[in-house]
A = this chain, B = another copy of it.
Amino acid sequence: MDKEKLTYIEETGLVFEQLGMTRMAGRVFGFLAVSDKEEASFDDIREGLNASKGSISGTAKQLKNAGLIEPVSLPGDRKTYYRISKMEVGNILRARLTLFKTFSDNLEKGLILREKNDEIAGWLREVSAFYSWVGDKISDVISTWETEKKNIIKEKNPHEKIRHT
């Protein structure tokens, strides 16, 4: 695999770290994204990333649970292959929205314990309301994407040439 791709894979590792996943998860995803094969075997990945079997095993499970990759098995071949999953993209983000609710609930609990009903309490109430509200709104936005995505993508690139492959 060429140097540019390897650099990209490492960058993807750092991006995934920012997103709260492990660096290795980003590497595996990045590897599959730029791999010249449709899907890569467990061992292709392990070799390509110079990692241990244990690490690949755990990371593959992590990415599978997150819905980002999926295993593929082929008849007459005992190996497991992996490829990037075509799972609905909105669901990946939706799963993260629980954090908004968690934060909002945490603030509510704090407000009950707080003795003073002062300016700060008012502000905390507002922050809690915001996160609760914005979580719902983002969920709506995701739904809009799901029903309208074809039109949205068209609007974004109205003059895009049709690709002949």
Contacts and interface: CB of A to CB of B under 8 A. Distances in A.
Contacts of A35: 114
Contacts of A115: 36
Given A18-B102, A106-B11, A86 B34 contact: no
Contacts of A12: 106, 110
Interface string A4-21: 110010011001001110
B120 A38 contact: yes
A141 interface: yes
21 contacts: A4-B113, A5-B113, A15-B102, A19-B103, A30-B110, A32-B120, A33-B107, A33-B110, A33-B114, A34-B110, A34-B114, A38-B116, A84-B123, A84-B124, A86-B123, A89-B126, A117-B163, A130-B149, A134-B142, A134-B145, A138-B141
